[in-house]
């Protein structure tokens, strides 16, 4: 905590008196504290008390009434290592969720570059109200840390959830935050954007039926996680799958058909350093999609006319600039090496990942895969059966070497 810059925001709540203890805890631990109060907070605790405890003038107005000097919320936003709003009233939480900037604390919050934590304090009904709960959810989704209020006797003499967490516990949570942040590995330097296509595509025949395949998207999603961990900004274009992404550096575009996947890939690829075509794109799509469900009773026997879809890998191969790297996959049942080498050349790929359906544990749906990486210079690397996460790491390592 020593030397850390903490902005402590105080709002109009009876729990504001506890903020005095909180400020003392931070100052005693060697942090520098800047208090920012809302106008109504000053009804509960005086700026003089907080200025004395924090050893800094308290900021509450946009400018100093005595000499007109401007208090810069933007400067506070870059100065702070952490902003902690304790107590956070229902009103301030609502304004934070909406982006309303009608006092110094809120403008400071909106310009804040550092992480923000809030310790709500209010009556139990206000806390339980769907409006407050929705606002808290919005803030949580945006990454604001919520220090949940405890249960106990409230200022209204009612008993329930809404009582601000004790200052010692809030301080401990802030200290934990710094400990975790410092223990986290430094993010890898950015390697630029990487397009990955993943999953199957669904080609609709009528509103309820489609032509698809058995791809689950596991290999493509494992590649996206491994690439993001290696420092790529991943653009994942995924067909229908039940999978979720975890890493923050993965930006996902969900598509359904081969045509949609092609349109998204074509748009994204020019801004990328590299692309890996991992999707099991349907090779054919119905020439006409019927607007209503085909009925057995009325239609009887009918023929479906299919037309080929765009070969995304091949088109990206045509678009590829000298500074870009392109990789693809080949899933083969026979003459694996010949077919893979042919695809590598036909699609203008820099390398192709071959998995054979003959290998047990490789291919669709499995959590494992066994691959060979064949490069455009004719070299071939064979890997043993591994988990898809490990295979993804091998492939991304190979890609990184080409992107050096
Ligand atoms: O020709 P084949 O479908 O076997 O080639 C597989 C490779 O081509 C994979 O990398 C796959 O993602 C890509 N592909 C594609 N668009 C298609 C068909 C395949 O990008 N329509």
Q: What is the pLDDT of residues 4-53, one digit of tens each?
A: 999 999 999 999 999 999 999 999 999 999 999 999 999 999 999 999 99
Ligand 1 center from residue 232 Cα (angstroms): 23
DSSP code at position 208: T
Judge if 145 and 197 occupy the same domain: no
274 in helix, strand or coil? strand
> Which ligand 1 atom lies nearest to the CA of residue 258?
21
pLDDT-derived band at 64, boundaries 50, 70, 90: low
Judge if 359 and 305 occupy the same domain: yes
Q: Which residues are catalytic?
A: 213
Nearest to 11 by CA among 137, 168, 118, 163: 118
Q: 309: Cβ below 6 Å to ligand 1?
A: yes
> CB within 8 A of 77, min separation 6: which ones?
108, 111, 112, 113, 114
Judge if 13 and 133 occupy the same domain: yes
Judge if 96 and 244 occupy the same domain: no
CA 298 to chain centre: 49
Query: In this structure, what CATH number is given to the domain that contains residue 308?
Result: 3.40.50.10300
Write out the two tokens for 26: 């931070």
Ligand 1 center from residue 202 Cα (angstroms): 15
Q: Which stretch of 77-81, 354-358, 389-393 has the lowest confidence by average pLDDT?
A: 354-358
> CB within 8 A of 355, min separation 6: which ones?
329, 330, 331, 332, 362, 363, 369, 370, 371
pLDDT higher for 208 or 152? Answer: 208
pLDDT higher for 274 or 243? Answer: 274
Q: Where among 161, 183, 205 does a domain terminate?
A: 183
For the cut 80, the answer to whether the pLDDT of residue 360 exceeds it is no
For the cut 70, the answer to whether the pLDDT of residue 117 exceeds it is yes
H or E element at residue 20? helix 16-28
Judge if 334 and 211 occupy the same domain: yes
- pLDDT at res. 184: 64
- Calculate the alpha carbon distances from 299 to 96, 206, 295, 303 in Å: 58, 13, 6, 10
> Which ligand 1 atom lies nearest to the CA of residue 279?
12
Over pLDDT 90: what percentage of the chain? 70
Judge if 168 and 260 occupy the same domain: no
Ligand 1 center from residue 196 Cα (angstroms): 12
- pLDDT at res. 121: 93
Write out the two tokens for 33: 């504290």
Radius of gyration of the CA atoms of the chain, in A: 29
Substitution site in 220, 268, 312, 363 for ligand 1 pocket (most atoms within 8 Å of beta carbon): 312
- pLDDT at res. 314: 98
Would you say 125 and 150 are in contact if contact means Cβ atoms under 8 Å apart?
no
Max CA pair span of the chain:
89
Q: Where among 132, 150, 183 does a domain terminate?
A: 183
> CB within 8 A of 201, min separation 6: which ones?
212, 239, 240, 255, 256, 257, 258, 260, 261, 279, 280, 281, 282, 309
Q: Which stretch of 61-65, 135-139, 193-197 has the lowest confidence by average pLDDT?
A: 61-65
Q: 120: Cβ below 6 Å to ligand 1?
A: no
Q: For the chain, how many structural domains are there in total?
A: 2
**pLDDT (mean) for 82-93:** 96
Q: 328: Cβ below 6 Å to ligand 1?
A: yes
246 in helix, strand or coil? coil
Judge if 306 and 206 occupy the same domain: yes
Rounded to 5°, angle at Cα 41 from 37 and 45: 100
Ligand 1 center from residue 228 Cα (angstroms): 23
User: What whole-number distance in Å separates Cα of residue 12 and Cα of residue 122?
Assistant: 10
Summarize pLDDT for 164-176 with one digit per residue, the tens: 999 999 999 999 9
> CB within 8 A of 334, min separation 6: which ones?
none
Domain carrying residue 244: 192-403
Judge if 206 and 285 occupy the same domain: yes
For the cut 90, the answer to whether the pLDDT of residue 95 exceeds it is yes
Substitution site in 215, 266, 276, 281 for ligand 1 pocket (most atoms within 8 Å of beta carbon): 281
pLDDT-derived band at 60, boundaries 50, 70, 90: confident
Judge if 333 and 259 occupy the same domain: yes
- pLDDT at res. 340: 94
Judge if 133 and 205 occupy the same domain: no
Ligand 1 center from residue 214 Cα (angstroms): 15
Could you count the other beta carbons within 10 Å of the beta carbon of residue 289?
14
Ligand 1 center from residue 316 Cα (angstroms): 11
Substitution site in 264, 328, 331 for ligand 1 pocket (most atoms within 8 Å of beta carbon): 328
Q: Which residues pair with 338 in a beta bridge?
A: none
Judge if 178 and 92 occupy the same domain: yes
Q: Where among 137, 162, 183 does a domain terminate?
A: 183
- pLDDT at res. 394: 96
Judge if 164 and 24 occupy the same domain: yes
For the cut 70, the answer to whether the pLDDT of residue 351 exceeds it is yes
User: What whole-number distance in Å separates Cα of residue 391 and Cα of residue 240?
Assistant: 22
Q: 312: Cβ below 6 Å to ligand 1?
A: yes
Mean pLDDT of the chain: 91
Q: 33: Cβ below 6 Å to ligand 1?
A: no
Summarize pLDDT for 320-336 with one digit per residue, the tens: 999 999 999 998 888 98
For the cut 80, the answer to whether the pLDDT of residue 59 exceeds it is yes
Query: In this structure, what CATH number is given to the domain that contains residue 159?
Result: 3.40.50.1950
């Amino acid at each position: 905590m020593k030397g850390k810059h903490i902005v402590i925001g105080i709002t109009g709540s009876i729990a504001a008196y506890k903020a005095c203890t909180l400020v003392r805890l931070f100052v005693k631990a060697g942090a520098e504290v800047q208090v920012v109060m809302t106008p109504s907070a000053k009804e509960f605790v005086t700026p003089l008390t907080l200025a004395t405890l924090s050893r800094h003038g308290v900021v509450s107005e946009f400018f100093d009434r005595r000499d007109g000097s401007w208090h810069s919320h933007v400067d506070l936003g870059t100065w702070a290592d952490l902003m902690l709003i304790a107590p956070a009233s229902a009103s301030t939480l609502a304004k934070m969720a909406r982006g309303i900037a009608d006092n110094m604390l809120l403008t400071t919050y909106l310009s804040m570059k550092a992480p923000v934590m809030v310790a709500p304090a209010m009556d139990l009904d206000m806390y339980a109200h769907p409006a407050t709960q929705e606002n808290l959810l919005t803030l949580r989704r945006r990454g604001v840390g919520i220090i949940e209020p405890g249960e106990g006797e409230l200022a209204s003499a009612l008993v329930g959830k809404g009582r601000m967490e004790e200052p010692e516990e809030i301080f401990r949570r802030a200290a934990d935050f710094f400990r975790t942040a410092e223990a986290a590995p430094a993010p890898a330097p950015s390697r630029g954007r990487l397009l990955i296509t993943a999953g199957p595509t669904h080609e609709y025949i009528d509103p309820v039926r489609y032509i698809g395949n058995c791809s689950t998207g596991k290999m493509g999603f494992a590649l996206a996680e491994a690439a993001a961990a290696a420092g790529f900004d991943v653009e994942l274009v995924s067909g229908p799958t039940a999978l979720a992404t975890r890493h923050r550096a993965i930006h996902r575009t969900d598509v359904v058909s081969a045509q949609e996947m092609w349109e998204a890939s074509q748009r994204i690829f020019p801004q990328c350093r590299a692309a890996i075509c991992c999707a099991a794109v349907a090779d054919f799509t119905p020439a006409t999609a019927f607007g209503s469900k085909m009925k057995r009773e009325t239609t009887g026997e009918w023929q479906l006319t299919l037309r080929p879809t765009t070969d995304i890998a091949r088109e990206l191969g045509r678009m590829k600039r000298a500074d870009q790297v392109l990789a693809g996959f080949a899933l083969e049942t026979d003459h694996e090496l010949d077919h893979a080498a042919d695809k590598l050349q036909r699609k203008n790929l820099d390398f192709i990942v071959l998995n054979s359906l003959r290998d047990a544990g490789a291919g669709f749906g499995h959590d494992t895969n066994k691959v060979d990486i064949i490069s455009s210079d004719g070299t071939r690397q064979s890997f043993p059966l591994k988990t898809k996460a490990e295979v993804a790491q091998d492939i991304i390592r190979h890609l990184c070497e080409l992107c050096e």
